[in-house]
Amino acid sequence: MSMSAITTPFGFDSTAAEIAATADLRGRRVVVTGAGAGIGAETARAIALTGAEVTLAVRDIAAGEQIAAQISATAGSGPVRVVGLDLSDLGSVRAFVDGWDGPLHVLVNNAGVRELPQTYTSAGWEMHFASNHLGHFALATGLRAALARDGAARVVSVSSSGHQYSPVVFDDLNFAFRPYDPQLAYGQSKTANVLFAVEATRRWAADGIVANALMPGAVPANPQQRAAGSLPPRLYKTVEQGAATSVLLAVSPLLEGVGGRYFVDCNETDVVDRRRTDLTGVARYALDEANADRLWGTSLELIAAQ
C-alpha cells in the first residue's frame, strides 16, 4: 500500500444517500452490476441522486425494472436504464459490451454469488471465480475504451472480508485437486476482486482510470438474520449503510485520482499478515503486485480461450 492511508469524514454509520449528496454527476454515465436487489439496488439508487445516468446490469430483468421504477419515482434522480447481464456467461458479457455506446464514467462491479455448492460454468470454471471475478474482468476490459474516453473514470470492485479465507490459488483455481470448500471458493474470488483493482489502476493509469476495492460490511438479507447471525448486532449494517463505501468510491470528490486500495467503512483499512478473528483489515496477498499481474495474465488467457 502506498504512502499514507486515505481517510474521509464518513464511517460505519454513513449512508449511501449522505455520500451521494456531496457529488454532482449530471451528464455522467454509471453502470452498476447486480443492481436488482440489496446493496446493488441501493448503490444505484444513491448514485442516481447525483444526477448521473445509471444503467442497472442485471440477470433478472423484471427485478431490475422494478428497482428502476422506484428510482425514477424519486425526485432529483437521473435517468435509469435496465440491461440484461449474466456474469457467468461470457456471451452475455460480450453482448453487454457490444451494446454499450459512448463514454462510461463509473463501473461498479457489485454483483456476486456466495458459498454455492460445487458448480461449474459450461467453460469448466468454478462458479464463484467465474461470476465474481472473470465475468467482471471481461466486462471491465471490454469497456476499457468507453472508460478511457472520460479521462478520469472509476471502477469499483466490491470484495469482502471473506477474502481472508483464501488467496488466489493459481495452480488450482477450479478445485480440481483440493476438496471443494464453498468458503475457500468464495474467498478466492473476493481476493481476485482486490487484485483486479490493484492491477487495473497500474495498467490503465495512462487513461486516467482508477480502481478501488471495498468490503461493504455485514448486511443481513432479512431482519431475522440480524438476530440469528454470528456477529454481535452492533456490527450489522442496514442496506443504506452497506452501500455507502461503494458510493464513496464511485462518486466522492475525495477519491479523485485514488486507486489500487481497499476500503472498509468509507476509509482505507490496514494491511494484515494473519487472519483476524473479526476479519478486519486486508490481507497482504490481496494487494501484492506480482499476484495482481499474474491474475491479470491468467484471466486474459482464460477468456481468450472461450
Closest alpha carbon to 140 in 81, 191, 199: 199
Taking the CA atoms of 253, 14, 242 and 47 in sequence, report the sign of the dihedral they define: negative
Active site residue 180: no
From 165, 186, 262, 285, active-site residue: 186
| CA 280 – CA 270 distance, rounded (Å) | 8
- Whether residue 45 contacts residue 67, with contact meaning beta carbons closer than 8 Å, is answered with yes
Q: Which three cell numbers stand for residue 195?
A: 487484485
Q: Is 104 helix (H, G, I), strand (E, B) or coil?
A: coil
How large is the C-alpha radius of gyration of the chain? 18
CA distances from 295 to 123, 160, 193 (A): 18, 18, 10
CA distances from 200 to 8, 128, 159, 205, 239 (A): 23, 20, 15, 8, 28
Residues with catalytic annotation?
A: 186
